Amino acid sequence: MKQALGLPLALLALVVGFGLTSEYFLTRDTFIAIANDIPALTVMAVGMTFVLIIAGIDLSIGSVLALSAGLTAVAMQSWGWNLPGAATLGLACGLFCGTLTGAVTVAWRLPSFIVSLGMLEIARGSAYLVTDSRTQYIGGAIGGLSTPLWFGISPAFLLALAIVVASHIVLRKSVFGRYLVGIGTNEEAMRLAGIDPRPWKVIVFALMGSLAALGGLMQLSRLEAADPNAGVGMELQVIAAVVIGGTSLMGGRGSVLNTFFGVLIVAVLEAGLAQIGASDPAKRVITGCVIIVAVLLDVYRNRRKRG
C-alpha cells in the first residue's frame, strides 16, 4: 500500500513553521525531548487505532493510566513491593479495566461509548482511592525505562516504536488484523460469515487497557511521580492523534503508521507552541484548527482517490 504523503508533509510544515518562529526549536534537544515525551501517547494511540477500527471507542484510557500508575507507585511506596511485582500489578490492572469494558460492551450489546464513560469514572475514582488523592513521589526507582541509552533516546521511546511497527504489521498482515477490519466494516456480515465478533472485540479493549497501563508506567518512570489527576482529557488527545492519522471513527479503516504521524503532529504542536510561549487560549485555538485541517485534508485525499 502506498503511504499517503499528506501527513509527513503536514508534519514537515509544522516543524519548519516552528523552526522559523523559534530560535531554539530546530535543535537536537528539542527532538530528543519530543521523542522522550511521546511514548505514553504513542502506545495509547496504537491501542485506540485498534479500538476505532472495530468501530468502538474507549474514553476511559486517561483514568486507567492514572489508576495503573498510581497503583504501581503505591505498591512500591506503601506496600513495599519490588519493581517487577508493582509494574506487573499496574499492567494487570490496565488489562482488567480494558477486559471489563470490552466484556460488558459485548455481553449486553451496549455502545462502548457508554461503558467506557462508566469505566472513566470508576478508574478515576479508584485512582483517588488508592493514592488517597495524593501525588505519589517514587524517585528514580523505575528510571531505567526513561534513562537515555544512545543520543539521549530512552528505552521507552524504542519500546513505543517497536510496538508501532509490530502493531502495524499485525493489522496489515495477520488474520487477527483482518478480522478487526471486517468487524469494524460490517459486524453483522462477519457474524453471518461464521466469525464470532465478540471475543475479538473483548481482546481489542483488553489490549487498549494494557497499553494505557503501559503508558502509565512510562509516565511514572519519566516523571518519578504518579499524579492521581494524570491523563484527564488524554482520551481526547489520543483520539485526535488517531483521527489525524486518518483512522475512521466509523470503523473499518485505519493505519497504525499513520497514527504515529498523528502522534508526532500532536506532540510537535504541543512542544512547539509551548516553546514559542503561546498563551493558553492561543494554544487551544491553534490545536483545534490543526485537528480540523488535518481531518479535512484526509477527507479530501480520500475523495480524490475515489475519482
Partner 1 sequence: MARAPLLRIGKLCKSFAAPVLTDIDLAFDTGEIVALTGENGAGKSTLSKLIAGLISPDSGEMLLGGERFSPRSRVDAERSGVRMVLQELSLVGTLSVAENLQLGAIPHRFGFIDRDAMNARARAQLALLGLDSIDPELPVSELGIGQQQLVEIARGLSGDVKLLILDEPTAMLTAREVEELFRQLALLRGRGVTIVYISHRLDELQRIADRVVVLRDGRLACDRAMAEVSHDEIVRMMVGHDVHEDEDRPRRASGRELLRVANFSGGLVRDASLAVHAGEILGLAGLVGSGRTELLRLIFGADQKSTGDLWLGGRPARIRNPTDAVAQGVGLLTEDRKSQGLLLGQALAMNLTIAHLSTVSRKGWIDGGGEERTAQQWKQRLRIRSKDSAQHVDELSGGNQQKVLFARWLHRDCQVLLLDEPTRGVDIGARADIYAELDALAKAGKALLVVSSDLRELMTLCDRIAVMSAGTLVQTFERGEWTEQALLAAAFSAYAQTMNMATDKAAS
Partner 2 sequence: MQIFRRFLAALALSSMVVLPAVSEAAAKPRVALVMKSLANEFFQTMQDGAKAHQKANAAQYDLIAIGIKDEIDTSGQIRLVEQMLAQRVDAIVIAPADSSALVPVLQSAIAKGVIVVNIDNRLDAKALAAKGISIPFVGPDNRAGAKLAGDHLAKQLAAGSKVGIIEGVPTTVNAQQRTLGFRDAMQAAGMKVASVQSGEWELQKGNTVASAMMREHPDLAALLCGNDTMALGAVAAIRSAGKTGKVKVVGYDNIPAVKPLLTDGRMSATVDQFAGKQAAFGIEVALKALAAKTPQASLPVVTNTEVALVTR
Interacting residues toward partner 2 by CB under 8 A = 22-25, 27, 29-30, 33, 36-37, 110-111, 113-114, 117-118, 121, 124, 128, 132-137, 139, 146, 219, 222-232, 270-271, 274-277, 279-280
> Strand, helix or coil at 134?
coil
Q: How far is the CB of 223 from partner 2 (least distance, A)?
A: 4
> Strand, helix or coil at 150?
strand
C-alpha cell at 70: 498510581
The Cβ of residue 244 has, within 10 Å, a number of other Cβ atoms equal to 28
- Residue 175 binds to partner 1 (criterion: CB under 8 A): yes
> Strand, helix or coil at 79?
coil
- Residue 174 binds to partner 1 (criterion: CB under 8 A): yes
Taking CB under 8 A as the criterion, the residue among 140, 173, 249, 299 binding partner 1 is: 173
Pick one of partner 2, partner 1, none as the site partner of residue 270 (Cβ within 5 to 8 A by kind): partner 2
Pick one of partner 2, partner 1, none as the site partner of residue 276 (Cβ within 5 to 8 A by kind): partner 2
Q: Which residues contact 103 (CB under 8 A, 6 or more apart)?
A: 202, 205
- C-alpha 61/C-alpha 130 separation (Å) is 17
Which CA distances in Å does 96 have to 66, 92, 238? Answer: 14, 6, 20
Residues 196-215 that bind partner 1 (CB under 8 A): 196
- C-alpha 194/C-alpha 155 separation (Å) is 42
Query: Between 135 and 185, whose beta carbon lies closer to partner 1?
Result: 185
Pick one of partner 1, partner 2, none as the site partner of residue 193 (Cβ within 5 to 8 A by kind): partner 1
Which parts of this chain interact with partner 1 (CB under 8 A)? 173-176, 178-179, 181-182, 185-186, 188-196, 252-253, 307
